[in-house]
Amino acid sequence: MKKYVLNSEIIQDKSLGMDIWENIFSNKEWGKYPSENLIRFIARNFYNVQDRSKINILELGLGTGANLWFCAREGFSVSGIEWSKTGVERFKKRLEDENLSKQIKEIKIGDYAQKLDEFENESFDAWIDSYSLAYNDFEKTKNIIEKAISKLKIGGKFFSITPSFNNEGFYEDVNLAYHTCFPSSGSDAFTGNIRYCDDLDIEKLYNGKNYKVINTQIYSLKEEGKIKNELFVIEGERYG
């Protein structure tokens, strides 16, 4: 398995849907460490609790488990949903190798729009999403967020990273679903149909009758004065 390989070397058929990620996770090392933003979110909200094992964290689209590995390593209880069986297997193997398997509460394989129904309501202190929701259309994303909110305890937190339009390879296509495209260049090339957001999208997606955005930041990566990636980092809370 190569440590680094371009997605275009693995798969170029955009019609394969979720098989894209099965191929990516099977053929390259992927995401061994969490982002600094995720680390700060967890630290700010949960580092001071007396018993970290009582804090339950759910990830939507865990991939190969970098975020949940970090949470488990820090003593929190973790659950997750992931479409790729290979991604889940790599995550479980890593935690087993590092004697962290006891931190896992429940991992489900499948579409989180459906698998969320299998978790108990108001049972999580936080849910996190690191770019995974962006691979769902706007309406489905809103439905997933509503379901995920119902799994939070009152006062529970949520964290999401999602792309803006200002990413290399992104383009407008009126023939596709709202604010979606199939990038063939840039870091998201050949990863499937991806949805980008603007400020109004963030407002509509991450606010509801019993939840709201607490903080939104935009992070841009530039090379030679040109934006390569631009991400919204959203933090919010369930309040009722």
User: Is 88 inside a domain boundary?
Assistant: yes
| pLDDT (0 to 100) of residue 199 | 97
User: Is 228 inside a domain boundary?
Assistant: yes
| pLDDT (0 to 100) of residue 224 | 85
Residue 16 predicted with pLDDT over 60 = no
- The range of the structural domain enclosing residue 145 comes to 7-238
| pLDDT (0 to 100) of residue 43 | 98
Residue 222 predicted with pLDDT over 80 = yes
User: Is 214 inside a domain boundary?
Assistant: yes
User: Is 40 inside a domain boundary?
Assistant: yes
User: Is 125 inside a domain boundary?
Assistant: yes
Residue 150 predicted with pLDDT over 60 = yes
For 108-128, what is each residue's pLDDT tens digit? 999 999 999 999 999 999 999
User: Is 2 inside a domain boundary?
Assistant: no
| pLDDT (0 to 100) of residue 14 | 46
SS (H, E, C) the chain: CECCCCHHHHCCCHHHCCHHHHHHHHHECCCCCCCHHHHHHHHHHHCCCCCHHHCEEEEECCCCCHHHHHHHHCCCEEEEEECCHHHHHHHHHHHHHCCCHHHEEEEEECCHHHHHHHCCCCCEEEEEEECCHHHCCHHHHHHHHHHHHHCEEEEEEEEEEEEECCCCCCCCCCCCCCCEECCCCCCCCCCCCEECECHHHHHHHCCECCEEEEEEEEEEEEECCEEEEEEEEEEEEECC
User: Is 1 inside a domain boundary?
Assistant: no
For the chain, the domain total comes to 1
User: Is 46 inside a domain boundary?
Assistant: yes
| pLDDT (0 to 100) of residue 3 | 54
- The CATH number of the domain holding residue 133 is 3.40.50.150
| pLDDT (0 to 100) of residue 204 | 98
